[in-house]
Amino acid sequence: MEIWNSWWVLQIMQFLGFFSFWISFAKFRTLFSRAFGYGHKVVKGDCSTWIFVSFNGLVTVGSFIFFLLVLSWAYLYAFPSSQSLIQSHEIPINSSDSLVQSYEIPSNSSDSLVQSYDAILKPNVSMDTCNVFEGSWVRDDSYPLYDASHCPFVERGFNCLANGRKDRDYTKWRWKPKNCEIPRFDARGILEQLRGKRVVFVGDSLSRTQWESMICLLMTGVEDKKSI
């Protein structure tokens, strides 16, 4: 919210700055032409007149420079440097650990979750060495977990098979972590865990497609599809 407010302040300051600049520039041009345009007429005149004209020109130029300095100061005051904004909103490197530690699992389900997690680990592999982000894609003929053509929530633009794609090999792959196994998606189990809860997907169109895929996966665990 602070960044958004600063952005609007910046836009207003820029508009007022440019507006004031053109007004001041028009006045400056008029004064400049009067001050220095009159000078060539009095080159042969007395010295006091020439000094007076030169002084008016210096005052005009000085006023214009002072205006630019004030405008620059107001700009820097209203909108600080981008580096300071980034530093004030950056996330610590090891904040992921604190986020994981701050996430608490209900006491009645923590034991079962830990036991099920231990069961999918390879022998002599601890939970600390199981990194789901390190692995490879392996072929699994039991995939896909749902048929996008039979899910009403999938947008037509993302339904490759309905749009004429012939090959289905790209749907036969699943992610295999290096030191552990990811349990197969259990739609009914997920529905039971989410009973009475609210799930929110926050983001852009990518999060929308993830939401559509999630709903299609959960539909496989519902017998009466029309009830959704």
Q: Which of 37, 32, 28 is nearest to 67 (CA)?
A: 28
Q: Name the residue range of residue 43's domain.
A: 2-85
Residues 22 and 127 in one domain: no
Residues 118 and 80 in one domain: no
Q: Structurally, how many domains does the chain consist of?
A: 2
Residues 146 and 200 in one domain: yes
- Provide the pLDDT for residue 18: 59
Residues 73 and 132 in one domain: no
Residues 69 and 130 in one domain: no
- Provide the pLDDT for residue 92: 46
Q: What are the distances in angstroms from CA 78 to CA 12, 73, 84?
A: 10, 9, 13
Gap between the Cα atoms of 54 and 47, Å rounded: 11
- Pairing status of strand 173-177 against strand 135-139: antiparallel
Evaluate whether residue 104 is within a structural domain: no
Which residue ranges in the chain fall short of pLDDT 70?
1-57, 77-128
Evaluate whether residue 96 is within a structural domain: no
Residue where the block lists tokens 């004209």: 53
Contact 76/11 with Cβ under 8 angstroms? Answer: no
SS3 121: strand
Evaluate whether residue 170 is within a structural domain: yes
- Provide the pLDDT for residue 196: 92
Convert the pLDDT of each residue in 29-57 to its tens digit. Answer: 565 555 555 444 444 455 555 555 566 66
Residues 14 and 114 in one domain: no
- Provide the pLDDT for residue 138: 93
Residues 21 and 65 in one domain: yes
Residues 120 and 68 in one domain: no
Residues 47 and 8 in one domain: yes
Length of the chain: 228
Radius of gyration of the chain (CA): 34
Evaluate whether residue 93 is within a structural domain: no
Gap between the Cα atoms of 117 and 177, Å rounded: 13
Q: In this structure, what DSSP letter does residue 92 have?
A: P
- Provide the pLDDT for residue 223: 81
Evaluate whether residue 102 is within a structural domain: no
Residues 115 and 222 in one domain: yes
Residues 136 and 170 in one domain: yes
Evaluate whether residue 35 is within a structural domain: yes
Q: What's the token pair of residue 18?
A: 């440019």
